[in-house]
Chains A and B, each alone.
Chain A
Amino acid sequence: MNGGPALGASDRLTFLLALVPFLMDHDRISVTEVSEHFGVSPDRVRDAVNLIAVSGIPGETRQYLHGDLFDIHWDEFETNDLIVLTHLVAIDDSPRFSAREAAALIAGLQYLSSLPENADVDAIASLMAKLTRSASAAPSQVAVSGTDARSSIAVVQAAVRDGVQIEFDYLNARGEHESRLVDPWRIQSVDRDWYLRGWCHLRAAARTFRLDRMSGLHATDVPTSPRSADAALPETLFEGSASDLDVTVELPPSAVPLLADYAPHGAAGAQADRVRRTLRVAHYHGLKRLVTGLAGVVEVVDPAEARAVVREWAAAGAARYDEAEPTDVGD
């Protein structure tokens, strides 16, 4: 576990409140052990212990006298990096979860629950009940239906575990089919979309693949090659490319957020009921689908070639309904 993002006072307070009961249960424990257990740096542990050791309650005298404060064995701490609590004040148990904290874990469990290896429904239900009982208020109503347990997820996961190459037909974002042979490294999801990251033998490079663009997926019995050091996994799933095209579209101002993934920029005609924005797209193959999927909202104005591609795409789609009248009209 890494150090995580910058920690606010809330995180630091939570750490203090969690550390006290943990230390109570461990008569004598090293800073290193505590740092490993909580997944924080040793310095953060030392800072917290230093603060706990001088904290306490105002007490009868309202003067924070010695007996009203926590205390530690200072020699052990300063000489041997060991923590020994010698006096306790006020708290002796871990705090409950907040409504949102419990909800975050419950929703996370719901998301995991449909995956093959977490299929023990009863165990998950009992865990969710425990979390609900351990929260100081009813968990926030955030609920997640399981991700669909596609068989492809299980195939890729097993291949990652067994260290074997997988083979599949991949339909890339330009609509081209290619047979791929891949060393699977990691299977990853974002909401409902699943991605495989690994070494693509066709391209001889690290690549990300969408599971919903694979067909004919199967594991081979060829072991994956040892991962070379320079084949580090890029942290972002997608990167822009120099060959991206600029396309100008017109749409109502309120619809601009729908195109957030395409980094719309430019702000001509801000007071009009239609505004123009320029989008970066990788290819017209994707653009025509995007625009046709937002019928009545987004219109391409420039370049003319992009307008023509969209027009032909929609016209070809519409024409299919002229060829074949449905048999169930009026249904």
Chain B
Amino acid sequence: MPSTIEKNSRVSVEERLFSLVLALIATEIGLTKADILSTVQGYRQRYLPGGDNASLERQFERDKDDIRELGIPLEVVEPPDDPGSNHHLRYRIPKGLYELPADVTFSPDELMLLKLAATVWREGSLSAESRRAMTKLHALGIDSNDPVLGYSPSLRVREAAFEPLSKAMDRGQVVAFLYLKPGEAAARRRQVEPRAVVLHDGRWHLFGTDQEAAATRTYLLSRIVGPVVSVPGASFEAHGEGQGQEALRELEALWTANIAVISARPGSDAAVRLPQGRTPGEMPTHQDASALHLNLHYTDLNVLADELAGYGPEVLVHSPASLRAAVRSRLISVRDAHTDSDRDPHPDAMTGADT
């Protein structure tokens, strides 16, 4: 086995990946897979000249994916004299696309803001990405001012769908999931091209193209009730930048246009909690002895109807009529579902389910 540095035959994963990145940056014309497996540190120790290197090849495929996940532009070059040939594909990392652009710099204040932005994702989704982004920023050697103390804003996406949806979106992969639409009692399967995942009015939404309806739809992540699965072989062209902003603009326009007029019992949960962040001005419209009158913005009638129904007698909806009817019918259905007939207190009687 050719080797000038004697090492244990176990080369750590990061050493193998680091060596692969260095080798692919250093090459102008690219290296073939055979070059890589037979010469690069971490592969060459396990390479069998003329033998079966299938497991090593699979290792290389996984390593390529891992490296690309980190934002490293690993390119495949087809040989001009032999296009379509798998054997002579060459791999390289163009240095100009690898490096941070030379003219990008960050001030200490900007770095402080970025630190705070990274800590927003301190747990769960995107926390690993934030951490790695900060490591890359630290390479620039800028000393930052310290973020404000006593203050820790965070985003902690509770919905399990976030991770698979955002990854499928980056790969242009069509997904399918069960969706329990607000206002409906049963979930239905949806097949969607995911275009953006956005937080609006405190709720995470998926913005995408519903393939069955062939139209743009917005879904609440909290209402995706099953696993998000990739649809085999179904991919789509990325819609490009600005999808997230477009989704937010649409939601914002809806939110601004929809106004519900309600009154809430003074001092109740509804009166204390509903006005926060929802009313057009800072203050509720007006209050008399028996009620606090509020105008509430909302995005989705059924979502607001669910929320308002939860407040029971603390809230009375005045308009729109559709919202008033939706809240009233929810309250009646809950009342009736929890009313036992004298003879048969068995709950199956109410739901109609017989086993």
Contact = CB atoms under 8 A, between A and B. Distances in A.
Decide whether A and B assemble into one complex: yes
Interface of A: 4, 8-19, 21-22, 25-26, 37-39, 51-52, 54-58, 62-66, 69, 89-109, 111-112, 115, 117-118, 123-124, 127, 130, 132-145, 147-148, 150-151, 157, 160-161, 171, 175, 177, 184-193, 211-215, 250, 252, 254-258, 260, 269, 272-274, 288-297, 299-301, 307-308, 310-311, 313-321, 324, 326, 328-331
Contacts of A37: 138, 141, 143
Given A26-B141, A57-B26, A143-B196, A108 B273 contact: no
Given A136-B98, A191-B199, A260-B158, 11 more contacts: A13-B21, A14-B132, A57-B22, A95-B72, A96-B72, A141-B241, A213-B272, A272-B355, A311-B338, A318-B335, A321-B324
Nearest to B73: A136
Contact of B195 (A109, A141, A171, A193): A141
A142 B185 contact: no
Interface in B167-206: 169-170, 178, 180, 185-187, 195-204
A299 B351 contact: yes
- 4 smallest beta-carbon distances between A and B, as pairs: A192-B202, A98-B71, A293-B310, A143-B244
Contact residues on B (Cβ < 8 Å of other chain), bracket: 35 or more
B97 A331 contact: no
Interface of B: 2-5, 7, 12-15, 17-19, 21-23, 25-26, 38-41, 66-67, 69-73, 95, 97-102, 104, 106, 109-110, 113-114, 116-121, 126, 128-141, 143, 148-158, 160, 166, 169-170, 178, 180, 185-187, 195-204, 222-223, 225-226, 238, 240-241, 243-245, 247-248, 251-252, 267-269, 272-273, 276-277, 282, 306-307, 309-313, 315-316, 318-321, 324, 327-335, 337-340, 347, 350-351, 353, 355
A91 B25 contact: yes
A115 B121 CA distance: 17
Contacts of B282: 151
Contacts, number: 435
Contact of A109 (B113, B131, B243): B113
30 contacts: A39-B134, A57-B19, A57-B23, A90-B22, A91-B22, A94-B139, A96-B98, A100-B170, A101-B71, A103-B129, A106-B117, A111-B153, A112-B120, A130-B106, A137-B71, A140-B170, A145-B201, A175-B269, A188-B154, A189-B152, A191-B202, A192-B203, A252-B186, A274-B353, A292-B309, A299-B351, A307-B340, A320-B313, A324-B316, A331-B321
Nearest to B338: A311
Given A101-B132, A191-B199, A258-B222, A317 B312 contact: yes
B113 A311 contact: no
Given A104-B121, A213-B272, A311-B338, A193 B202 contact: yes
A212 B273 contact: yes
B243 to A, nearest CB: 4
A145 B141 CA distance: 31
Contacts of A100: 69, 126, 129, 166, 170
